Structure 1
Amino acid sequence: MGKTVLVTGASKGIGKAIVEYLCDSGADIKVLGIARSLQDLQDLKSKFGSKFSFLCADITDEVAVGEFLASQLDGIDAVIANAGVLSPVQGVAHADTAQWKSLFDINFFSVVSLVARVLPQLKESKQGDVILVSSGASTKPYYAWGAYGASKAALNHFAQTLAFEEPQVRTVAIAPGVVNTQMQDEIRDRLGPSNMTPEALKRFTDLHEKGELLDPEVPAAVYANLALKGISPDINGKYLRYNDAQLAEYS
């Protein structure tokens, strides 16, 4: 019997690359995608047919997400929580707490809600897996990234909590590195110049100018293989970077 994998933020960047990797893997698999970009989701559906089903909605829309999950006849074997936003990019001195709360709703609370909803199905699976897309910003500060970094640190702790509380489900939080996605475009062109110090922004502009940003397919392969192969017991509950030696079998 094949696997059913749920991917959030499935229409662009790393999420899209994860969907494509899973559907092209040759495995007996069904991929459920949730994202806001209808045309991109429809393109994936046209490409992969019955392997891919989708919901076009905001990940914080609990009613729409709940109805979509309830409509799926197959159980869910793995969740890849990829949806996330960087904005607001603002120093603490100028923090708009309403904007910080909105970010946390997307980056953290939507994940808690989703995982809580599908836990019964994950437990019924031969091995349920929860794969969380974290960030290097969860363990070190970047100027004006306080909201984003804190939300990703919360995800790391959520991985520990799940591993501790739910022995039938395995969980891991993985940072993808600095990836050539729409988020990097926004950092260089809009969010960074107006909100970050020149020194903080330089790291990202240098990586772009030198062609050193990762292709989305690189971390996507790690996330997808964690879902396909299952999270090993020795990394259950951990936070790791995509290229950590402990993830070598998933590269």
Structure 2
Amino acid sequence: MTKTALITGASRGLGLALARSLAADGWRLILTARGEDALRAAAAELGALALPGDVADPAHRDRLALAAQEHGGLDLLVNNASGLGAVPLPPLAGYPADTLEELFRTNVLAPLALIQANLRGLRERRGAIVNISSDAAVEAYEGWGGYGATKAALEQISHVLAVEEPDVAVWWVDPGEMSTAMLADAVGAGEAAGAPGPETVVPTLRRLIADRPDSGRVRHE
């Protein structure tokens, strides 16, 4: 039976790297991201379904869930889409409340809502959820308080889901520093260019999917 995965933030970075790996193994892919042109190019390359949009938009999440249902549900949901928040990275004492609220909608509420919308199919197919986190969720880095708070919340949601949903594997994955557009926005293009490429994290994700270890936090080494 062909397996189906929904990957958010799939037009570039880690989402695209994982999509390429899964496509090579015959997975049916539903890809979403805000950058429509890049997403459609990726989907054309991989023979995937492209549904551009913002995961923070409830109507877009409904479209994603409907697409998954049309394929009989998901075997894998990868919550990779993420916002950085205010740039340059501000101290918490001056963090704009409206920006932080928007960041929580994207990084926390949207992943949970997508899980809720697809949970029935994930249960039936004994599927898996991968929530992409960060070391900023567990470490105190100056300027990363807003982003880190959202990832800490996502990790706690993941942890509780792992307890509540024994038929679904739930992994919250810290990929480490990667050379991505988001990191470049945060620390500058020069420093970001020295980080490992996102494709280096894909083997860790593929091992999780293939071996299905117990739910839990996973740190890519």
Name the TM-score, length of structure 1 as normaliser: 0.81
Q: Is the 8 A contact 1:21 1:221 kept in 2?
A: no
Give the number of aligned pairs.
217
CA deviation vs aligned residue, 1:130-159 (integer Å, no higher than 9, x gap): 111010111101111111101111111112
Q: Is the 8 A contact 2:31 2:43 kept in 1?
A: no
Aligned mate of 2:198, from 216, 221, 230: 216
Alignment partners' CA distance in 1, 2:128 and 2:153: 18
Aligned to 1:58: 54
Task: Provide closer, same or farther for how the CA distance between residues 225 and 61 of structure 1 changes in structure 2, counting only shifts above 3 A.
Answer: farther
| CA apart distance, 1:45 | 2.2
Q: Which amino acid aligns with 1:105?
A: R
Q: Is the 8 A contact 2:204 2:220 kept in 1?
A: yes
Aligned to 1:77: 75
Q: Which amino acid aligns with 1:29?
A: W
Task: Provide closer, same or farther for how the CA distance between residues 230 and 123 of structure 1 changes in structure 2, counting only shifts above 3 A.
Answer: farther
| CA apart distance, 1:170 | 1.2
Alignment partners' CA distance in 1, 2:207 and 2:183: 25
- The correspondence of residues 42-121 of structure 1 with structure 2, limited to 5 A, is 42-49=40-47, 52-72=48-68, 73-74=70-71, 75-88=73-86, 89-121=89-121
Aligned to 1:200: none
- The correspondence of residues 149-188 of structure 1 with structure 2, limited to 5 A, is 149-188=148-187
| CA apart distance, 1:221 | 3.0
Aligned structure 1 segments of 4 or more residues deviating by more than 6 angstroms: none
Q: Is the 8 A contact 2:56 2:106 kept in 1?
A: yes
CA deviation vs aligned residue, 1:62-95 (integer Å, no higher than 9, x gap): 1122123213421111111100011222112112
Name the TM-score, length of structure 2 as normaliser: 0.92
- The answer as to 2:188 corresponding to 1:242 is no
Q: Which amino acid aligns with 1:7?
A: I
Q: Which amino acid aligns with 2:3?
A: K
Report the structure number with the largest CA radius of gyration.
1
| CA apart distance, 1:38 | 1.1
Alignment partners' CA distance in 2, 1:220 and 1:61: 28
Q: Which amino acid aligns with 1:239?
A: R
